[in-house]
Structure 1
């Protein structure tokens, strides 16, 4: 696997994990003010979620990399 392929796989995993992590710990605003949405979170804590997403994506990518290196699955077999 080239470094470009590994990077692209990590980005896809990262975005998928981000959408799974975003709803964690969200609390709605009790009394939204003028111009605020009822579903808007009080404190989105995006930096914390980005850090969690990066850590989980790294672990998942590492698992993918190990399985790929052990030739458990191969993209080339799909073409043959």
Structure 2
């Protein structure tokens, strides 16, 4: 696999992992004991830390991408194994 293809696949893993990681560790204003700003939704995060989300996302996506690459090289699961129609 070319490095450009691997990089594109990693970026896809990273963006998918953002949506998995995003809700973890989020506290609302009510949970944090803070007052709501007028017009603020009750479910809005109290203190959103983009750096923490980026670090967690990078770690999770690196692990998943590593498993993907290992499967690519060693062929643990192939498309032939997933073809249940035959």
Scaled to the shorter chain, the TM-score interval is: 0.7 to 0.9
For structure 1, the 5+ residue unaligned runs are 75-80
Query: What is the number of equivalent residue pairs in this alignment?
Result: 75
Q: Which structure's CA Rg is the greater one?
A: 2
Tell me the equivalent position of 2:42: 38
Q: Per-residue CA shift, 1:20-71, capped at 9, x if unaligned?
A: 1100011112231223222210111221111011011111111111111124
CA distance in 1, matches of 2:3, 2:45: 38
- Give the alignment's Cα RMSD to 1 decimal: 1.8
For structure 2, the 5+ residue unaligned runs are 80-86
Question: After the TM superposition, which residues 25-64 of structure 1 pair with which residues of structure 2 at under 5 Å, given as runs?
Answer: 25-30=25-30, 31-64=35-68
TM-score between the two structures when normalised by the length of structure 1 = 0.80
TM-score between the two structures when normalised by the length of structure 2 = 0.75
Flag as ranges the 4+ runs of structure 1 deviating above 4 A. none
Tell me the equivalent position of 2:12: 12
